[in-house]
Chains A and B, each alone.
Chain A
Amino acid sequence: MAQHRAPSKHVGTWIVITVLLAAALIGTLWVPFYNHLTPALGGFPFFYWYQLLWVPIVAILAAAAYLLSRLAQRGNAASAQSQEYDRREAG
């Protein structure tokens, strides 16, 4: 992830983002969590509704991560990177 450019005040933000995103990987890839039929919900065995439920969850996690990343970037708004890019374009 992009920690190495983040000034120290944003390291915390990027850790939170990492945790949010990693949660989705662990929650869906660890099959023993959900490899059973009960409890069923609305006729759907657990295996199916659990994984389908992760779809809106990942959307919310990604949205939160997006907002946090924008927040971290706003702190860097006039940072060296964009100046460097401008220099490159000018040169």
Chain B
Amino acid sequence: MSGNAVALTIVIVMFVAVTLVGFAAARWRQAEDRLHLNEWGLGGRGFGIFITWFLLGGDIYTAYTFIAVPALVYGVGALGFFAVPYTIIVFPIVFVFAPRLWSVSRVHGYVTPADFVRGRYGSHGLALAVAVTGILATMPYIALQLVGIQAVLTVLGVHGDWPLIIAFVVLAGYTWVSGLRAPALIAFIKDTLIYLMIIVAILYIPARLGGWSHIFSTAGTHLAQINPKTGKPFGSLTVGPTAVWAYSSLALGSALALFMYPHAVTGVLASRRRYAIRFNTAILPAYTLMLGFVALLGYMALAAPGVPQAVKAHGANAQLAVPFLFQKMFPPWFAGVAYSAIIIGALVPAAIMSIAAANLFTRNIYKEYFNPDATPAQQTRVAQTVSLIVKLGALIFVLALSKTFSINLQLLGGIWILQTFPAIVIGLYTRWFHHWALLAGWAVAMAYGTIVAYSTPAPGVPGSHFGASTATVPVFNHTVYIALTALVINLVVAAVLTGVFRLAKLPAGVDETLPGHYHADPPGLRRPRVPITRLTVSSPDPGGQPPVRHGP
């Protein structure tokens, strides 16, 4: 067998194994009321510290991260490393606000961030804005998971659309059956493989390439070459003087935005106890360390003989840098393990994202506007259907439209989702802002962000669109992440209009939350812990009833 055939065989075997686990997950930690959206959409809100760690890690470190971050480092050098400070500071930020969101959501049974906004401000409009923004920002994110899979398949020499279609049909199948339990359980496999891949990569590849100093100096030489398009070097090993603000604003803006994404909120709300979230901010940085080394794979790819040439031969698509690095450096069987890690790393977040988007649609659009009396069972059925539609949409997106379109939309998605920050996070602390002012701030910032992103050309390609996620801010005269500039505009508009609306004595809406709800720490909803060994039980539950559980 050729090297690629060995790798492909391993990828297929792993995929089948993950599929079995995905379907078996339906029986994991199952509750009596399995048709409630809490069950399908939040895994019964019963995940402890350990599973929350895997779920959040599996959720926010996506396949696109594994492909795009090293691709950026490969292409421009140090600037791409902003992913590290980004995923460092996200944890102090989460430490501060996430427990409040968890508590108020547990007290009131909120499933989505838009549920909270609706309850806090008594505003349908603002809740709808938050829900729609969440769905819009999530869809291209799901599509990009497919782009990550495609990068691996391209290097494996697999062509055509059918592998992607098979992967998504199977994913849709076990998400339908198992809900959030499927990705939570598969996250164990995903993360084990990812950690294995990166530990082997940082020990083995530098040894083969002549050590870290050699990798950095070779990468530095490559980056110092002049880009014919711009007439400037491709990049450098440190951040250029004009990009310092871009670097820190990308880190800060992305960190503030990350837990506005519905799938990240889903991971938080699925936690069983309040303290599990704060505890996790101390152990989740393990993933950041892994991400830091994944980013450095970009430099290894620059330094590995044959990899830059192979990337150039495939249309200079930097996303292929890491898959080619594995192909050239690892023995075929381990390349197969590493590719499986990336592919499974795409399936887990794609499943959680589609569930989160489905929760948003069901709770904040379907129940709100179409069927206010929907029973929990009906809600679950609608959420299952929507998660299917969302995944199908992402698939069509990637197959029918250009890949660049998905990437541009994801860039926009990051800008958009941050604009829900004032309504959600500031709303956790104060009701000072008027809900119409927040809505106006959101609308202005969405428009501003979209227009600026559209009109930013790629370096050296005048007249092109969506060329970068940073743009020069007038007056301030520095290059800043567009999302962060938009957030500042958002806050200013919201603050000024709040003043105006208060003077005009416009009704402020009804707040159904009380101060104590933000600190409440009710114990887990029900049910003793089910040992994980239950997973291996394959006999069907008699009459759909969970078996009686005995103590240890």
Contacts and interface: CB of A to CB of B under 8 A. Distances in A.
Contacts of B522: 82, 85, 89
Contacts of A35: 238-239, 244
Given A21-B96, A35-B238, A70-B275, A88 B107 contact: yes
A54 B85 contact: yes
Contacts of B213: 40, 43
B519 A55 contact: no
B238 A61 contact: no
Contacts of B124: none
A17 B428 CA distance: 19
Interface in A46-75: 47-48, 51-52, 54-56, 58-63, 65-66, 69-70, 73
A13 to B, nearest CB: 14
B248 A29 contact: yes
Nearest to B277: A66
Interface in B146-197: none
Given A65-B278, A81-B520, A55 B88 contact: yes
Nearest to B245: A31
Nearest to B246: A31
A25 B86 CA distance: 10
A34 to B, nearest CB: 9
Contacts of A22: 92
Interface stretch (B132-140, B283-291, B444-452, B485-493): B283-291
Given A29-B252, A81-B520, A85-B522, A51 B281 contact: no
A66 B96 contact: no
B283 A84 contact: no
A35 to B, nearest CB: 5
A40 B220 CA distance: 14
Nearest to A6: B519
Contacts of A45: 216, 237-238
Interface string B255-292: 00000000000000000000100110111011011001
B400 interface: no
A1 B95 CA distance: 10
A14 B479 CA distance: 35
A5 B251 CA distance: 31
Contacts of A47: 78, 81, 237-239
Which size bracket describes the interface of B in this complex?
Answer: 35 or more
Interface of B is mostly: helix
A24 B519 contact: no
Nearest to A60: B282
B125 interface: no
A37 interface: yes
B154 to A, nearest CB: 29
B296 interface: yes
B368 interface: no
Given A2-B100, A21-B95, A45-B238, A59 B286 contact: yes
B288 A55 contact: yes
B84 A51 contact: yes
Nearest to A63: B282
B519 A2 contact: yes
B3 to A, nearest CB: 29
Nearest to A80: B516
Contacts of A51: 81, 84-85, 88, 292
A32 interface: yes
A73 B29 CA distance: 29
Contacts of A54: 84-85, 88
A37 B238 contact: yes
Given A43-B213, A45-B216, A62-B285, A31 B278 contact: no
B309 to A, nearest CB: 24
Contacts of B516: 5, 80-81, 84-85
Nearest to A85: B520
Contacts of A56: 285, 289
Nearest to B243: A31
B528 interface: no
Interface string A6-31: 00000000000000011011001111
B212 interface: yes
Nearest to A21: B92
B48 to A, nearest CB: 15
B521 A62 contact: no
A4 B84 CA distance: 33
B433 interface: no
Given A28-B85, A52-B292, A58-B91, A43 B519 contact: no
A24 B282 contact: no
Contacts of B107: 85, 88
Interface string B214-238: 1110000000000000000000011
Given A21-B95, A88-B107, 13 more contacts: A31-B239, A42-B212, A43-B206, A47-B81, A51-B81, A51-B88, A55-B84, A55-B288, A56-B285, A58-B288, A62-B91, A62-B92, A62-B281
3 pairs of A and B residues whose beta carbons are closest in the complex: A43-B212, A43-B213, A21-B92
